[in-house]
């Protein structure tokens, strides 16, 4: 399987953050899983730990390893904006069965209309038993109002009320309470309806190579599962020398990162501390390690849009298939500094990978990433980078087919040192 085919397989098998973690685990062949609740007295040379929709994996250097050895981190996030099924979702009327859904993160509302939607995530029984479920069949759809009934839509723009206009239909007849729970319980192989769930709607159309020249990649969740895949590939291939290579995949970036698994939470700090202590290190060793550590925060960037060039900063317009963009913002929406940018440039040069620069317009608010949060929490110097893409936060996004491979090679060079 080519790397691009493997990325397509990763995207198609990761319709939720929990599935993205599972897809990553399947690729970490030879890595030993540790339990956060167990004692870490013997840290494996290659290992990982999972906490819900987040994962941290590492590889110790083959030579010269000590507890004060610095870390080189690659960070990304597993979650993507989507619609999630409410706890009591059975609703509808006028002959339609509908699902109550909640908006997760900053979706492009219109991109969810008229798509065949599957449902995936995790279900939990009353006794705490948890299972992943993925109904990868056309199950639900948010039908757009016909143009005949909305004559101004093409000139005035589409306005959608997220409470009123985004409820998908998923059948006909009378809605009955508990019907969805019974259905998803059967789909998950449980004996009955789950007590609770976290379930994402997603476009069942699989990732696809696009363009007459096959130069593009279209898929849901490119932001930011593309970077998760690239980070895992880089860690698998890296041979770290003089530093501990780490990949961290946080959840909840799209909703502010404040959670047990988000970048503002304690997960990364806890694991790094235990990697030091588990190898006999002291508090001083940990501070020495962190002071010499660095992080590449990978999250997709905005490629210049050919139909809206005026929305981009004229001197900093990333194009697709021209390498990862270094993201710079003096106001620290991105954590990139001159020194971390130069270090990442060296990694790109070592891997023979081209690179670009992204800066927002002054009159347009700039997004942010897990980069500044990781830098703030741990004091680790960080560079924000990302593959340029179009249609960010659409149900189906678009990027260059070559750029994920460029990013992987640059990350591998960074993690190897």
Which positions lie near Zn ion, rule CB under 5 A?
223-224, 299
| Nearest to Zn ion of 106, 280 (CB atom) | 106
CB of 292 to Zn ion, least distance (A): 28
What's the closest the beta carbon of residue 80 comes to Zn ion, in angstroms?
A: 8
Least distance from C-beta 370 to Zn ion, angstroms? 8
Question: Based on CB atoms, which residue is closest to Zn ion, 185 or 265?
Answer: 265
At closest approach, how far in Å is the CB of 367 from Zn ion? 8
Q: For residues 47 and 246, is the Cβ–Cβ distance under 8 A?
A: no
End-to-end CA distance of the chain: 27
Return the number of the residue (223 or 403) whose C-beta is nearest Zn ion: 223
Closest distance of CB 299 from Zn ion, Å: 4
| Strand order across the beta sheet in which 397-400 lies | 208-210, 216-219, 397-400, 388-390, 301-302
Q: Which CB sits closer to Zn ion, 224 or 412? A: 224
Residues pairing with 113 in the sheet: 142
Q: 69 or 224: whose CB is closer to Zn ion? A: 224
- Considering the complex, state which of residue 251 and residue 299 has its C-beta at the smaller distance from Zn ion: 299
In whole angstroms, how close is the CB of 223 to Zn ion at the nearest point? 4
Taking the complex as a whole, the smallest distance from the CB of residue 8 to Zn ion amounts, in Å, to 19
Q: Nearer to Zn ion by C-beta: 115 or 393?
A: 393
168 versus 371: smaller Cβ distance to Zn ion: 371
CB of 254 to Zn ion, least distance (A): 7
């Amino acid at each position: 399987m080519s790397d691009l085919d493997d990325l397509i397989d990763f995207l198609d098998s990761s319709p939720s953050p929990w599935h993205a973690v599972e897809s990553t685990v399947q690729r970490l062949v030879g890595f030993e899983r540790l339990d956060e609740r167990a004692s870490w007295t013997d840290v494996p040379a290659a290992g990982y730990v999972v906490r819900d929709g987040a994962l941290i994996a590492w590889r110790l250097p083959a030579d010269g390893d000590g507890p004060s050895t610095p870390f080189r981190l690659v960070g990304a996030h597993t979650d993507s904006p989507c619609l999630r099924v409410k706890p009591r979702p059975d609703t509808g009327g006028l002959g339609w069965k509908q699902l109550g859904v909640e908006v997760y993160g900053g979706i492009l509302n219109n991109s969810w209309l008229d798509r065949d939607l599957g449902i995936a995530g995790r279900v939990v029984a009353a006794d705490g038993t948890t299972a992943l479920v993925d109904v990868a069949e056309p199950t639900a759809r948010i039908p757009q109002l016909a143009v005949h009934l909305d004559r101004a839509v093409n000139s005035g723009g589409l306005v959608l009320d997220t409470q009123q206009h985004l409820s998908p239909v998923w059948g006909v007849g009378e809605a009955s309470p508990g019907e969805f729970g019974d259905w998803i319980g059967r789909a998950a192989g449980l004996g009955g309806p789950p007590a609770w769930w976290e379930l994402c709607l997603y476009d069942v159309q699989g990732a696809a190579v696009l363009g007459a020249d096959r130069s593009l990649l279209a898929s849901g969740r490119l932001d930011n599962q593309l970077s998760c895949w690239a980070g895992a590939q880089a860690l698998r291939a890296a041979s770290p020398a003089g530093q501990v290579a780490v990949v961290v995949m946080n959840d909840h970036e799209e909703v502010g990162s404040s959670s047990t698994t988000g970048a503002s939470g304690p997960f990364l700090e806890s694991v790094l501390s235990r990697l030091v202590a588990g190898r006999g290190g002291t508090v001083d060793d940990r501070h020495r390690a962190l002071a010499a550590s660095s992080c590449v925060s990978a999250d997709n960037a905005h490629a210049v849009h050919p139909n809206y060039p005026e929305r981009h900063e004229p001197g900093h317009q990333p194009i697709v298939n021209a390498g990862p963009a270094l993201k710079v913002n003096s106001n620290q929406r991105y954590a990139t500094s001159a020194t971390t940018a130069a270090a990442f440039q060296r990694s790109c040069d070592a891997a023979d990978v081209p690179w670009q620069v992204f800066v927002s317009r002054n009159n347009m608010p700039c997004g942010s990433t897990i980069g500044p949060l990781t830098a703030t929490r741990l004091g680790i110097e960080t560079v924000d980078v990302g593959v340029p893409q179009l249609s960010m936060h659409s149900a189906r996004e678009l990027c260059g087919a070559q750029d994920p491979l460029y990013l992987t090679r640059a990350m591998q060079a960074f993690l190897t040192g």
